[in-house]
């Protein structure tokens, strides 16, 4: 890839990309990849951790003052480097200015595309297993949290119980703050949990994730709290459930992201709710909870074999509430493989 891009090396500053290439899970450090070597520079806080996690694949250098100064001092040890690429999407302007003067001016620097992300999109068996494990523990955490839900609770209380259950089941982190939205607020696709009290008969939308070995699972379930669903709720839920089923069963490697999006969008539009489904059908999943590829109306590229994607159509009716259902799917060479539990029947917490 370096050769194809006309690069002698790539400076990697994106934390997920550093973890992908080296195994390092800390919060500070920079890596340089040449065609024959990986250099990783971090500070004294990560001395032992860096050597344990990436010493087998990278030359680790520990710096007590400036990691950037140490990096520039170490670059000549990597041989003759004419052109060094850098991750323009992950590097601040301030840090990029280090290349234009002083020691950094000894090399030619070139903004590179998302090279490592292009490698990350295809998951190997170990990565898929980690996502599946994260999905399994997320399902267990949801089960425990829903057992405690009652009318009269605040959204924040429910979110706290869900995040507590995720940790108790073994999640390394929360890939994003759990979204718990009730009643009319469930029509906000990315609502923040609030102190709003959940009333009987209302929608409760829960969007949450888990992390195992650095890899994320992402799930959404929508339930009715404290009562049986009424006819309009059942109709709306049934529409989203069917659209989600069609997409998760029909998606496959090689189809365009646009065609994958249409699997869920077409039945929703056919029922007159197209304007109420404003986001894409899904996104890639891995070391980041949102990564390539995209399942969207604007995504013309084919979905790569080996990718893991979410399938998450939703319909949101202002003033009434919304429904979203989300599962994670591996695009294997033999077709779509469900990594989450796929349990999407309407739950009525009575």
Q: Helices 125-146 and 155-169 meet at what angle, rounded to 10?
A: 130
User: Tokens representing 142?
Assistant: 């949801």
Q: How far apart are CA 82 and CA 78, in angstroms?
A: 11
pLDDT of residue 102: 81
pLDDT of residue 256: 98
**Does the domain formed by 9-120 have CATH 3.20.20.70?**
no
pLDDT (tens, 9 = 90+) of the chain, 350 residues, equals: 999 999 999 999 999 999 999 999 999 999 999 999 999 999 999 999 999 999 999 999 999 889 999 999 999 999 999 999 999 999 999 888 888 778 888 999 999 989 999 999 999 999 999 999 999 999 999 999 999 999 999 999 999 999 999 999 999 999 999 999 999 999 999 999 999 999 999 999 999 999 999 999 999 999 999 999 999 999 999 999 999 999 999 999 999 999 999 999 999 999 999 999 999 999 999 999 999 999 999 999 999 999 999 999 999 999 999 999 999 999 999 999 999 999 999 999 99
Burial 236-252 (b: 16+ CB within 10 A, else e): bbebbbbbbbbbbebbb
Parallel, antiparallel, or unpaired for β 282-284 and 215-225? unpaired
List the domain boundaries for the chain.
Answer: 9-120, 125-349
Parallel, antiparallel, or unpaired for β 38-43 and 83-87? unpaired
Q: In what order do the strands lie in the sheet with 282-284?
A: 291-295, 282-284, 308-311, 327-332, 335-338
User: Tokens representing 132?
Assistant: 């599946």
Tell whether omega for the bond before 293 is within 30 degrees of 0, i.e. cis. yes
pLDDT of residue 350: 94
Residue pair 209/219 in contact (Cβ under 8 Å)? The answer is yes
User: According to DSSP H, which parts of 147-277 are helical?
Assistant: 155-169, 231-250, 257-270
Q: Which residues, in sequence order, are bridge partners of residue 32?
A: 11, 39
pLDDT of residue 9: 97
Helix (H, G, I), strand (E, B), or coil: what is residue 176?
coil
pLDDT of residue 97: 87
pLDDT of residue 99: 85
Residue pair 75/107 in contact (Cβ under 8 Å)? The answer is yes
Q: Give the H or E element holding residue 310.
A: strand 308-311
pLDDT of residue 250: 98
pLDDT of residue 59: 96
pLDDT of residue 293: 97
Q: How far apart are CA 237 and CA 36, in angstroms?
A: 54
Model confidence, pTM: 0.94
Q: How far apart are CA 53 and CA 67, in angstroms?
A: 18
Phi, psi of 16 (to 5 degrees): -60, -35
pLDDT of residue 113: 87
pLDDT of residue 29: 95
CATH number of 125-349: 3.90.230.10
């Amino acid at each position: 890839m370096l050769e194809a891009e006309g690069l002698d090396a790539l400076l990697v500053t994106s934390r997920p990309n550093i973890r992908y290439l080296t195994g390092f899970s800390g919060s500070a450090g920079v890596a340089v990849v040449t065609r024959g070597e990986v250099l990783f520079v971090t500070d004294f806080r990560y001395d032992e951790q860096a050597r344990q996690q990436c010493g087998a694949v990278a030359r680790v250098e520990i710096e007590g003052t400036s990691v950037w100064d140490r990096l520039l001092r170490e670059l000549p040890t990597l041989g003759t480097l004419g052109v060094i690429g850098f991750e323009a999407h992950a590097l601040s302007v301030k840090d990029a200015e280090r290349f234009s003067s002083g020691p950094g001016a000894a090399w030619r620097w070139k903004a590179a595309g998302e090279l490592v992300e292009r490698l990350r999109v295809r998951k190997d068996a170990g990565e898929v297993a980690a996502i599946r494990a994260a999905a399994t523990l997320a399902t267990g955490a949801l089960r425990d949290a829903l057992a405690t839900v009652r009318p009269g609770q605040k959204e924040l209380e429910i979110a706290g119980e869900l995040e507590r259950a995720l940790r108790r089941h073994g999640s390394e982190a929360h890939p994003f703050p759990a979204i718990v939205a009730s009643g009319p607020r469930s029509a906000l696709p990315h609502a923040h949990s609030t102190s709003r009290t959940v009333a009987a008969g209302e929608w409760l939308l829960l969007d949450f994730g888990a992390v195992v070995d650095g890899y994320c699972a992402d799930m959404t379930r929508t339930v009715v709290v404290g009562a049986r669903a009424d006819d309009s709720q059942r109709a709306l839920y049934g529409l989203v459930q069917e659209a989600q089923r069609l997409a998760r069963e029909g998606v496959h490697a090689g189809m365009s992201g646009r065609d994958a999006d249409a699997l869920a969008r077409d039945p929703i539009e056919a029922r007159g709710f197209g304007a109420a489904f404003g986001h894409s059908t899904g996104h890639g999943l891995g070391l980041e909870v949102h990564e390539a590829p995209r399942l969207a109306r604007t995504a013309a590229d084919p979905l790569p074999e080996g990718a893991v994607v979410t399938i998450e159509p939703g319909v949101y009716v202002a003033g009434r509430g919304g429904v979203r259902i989300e599962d994670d799917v591996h695009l294997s060479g033999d077709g779509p493989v469900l990594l989450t539990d796929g349990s999407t029947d309407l739950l009525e917490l009575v």
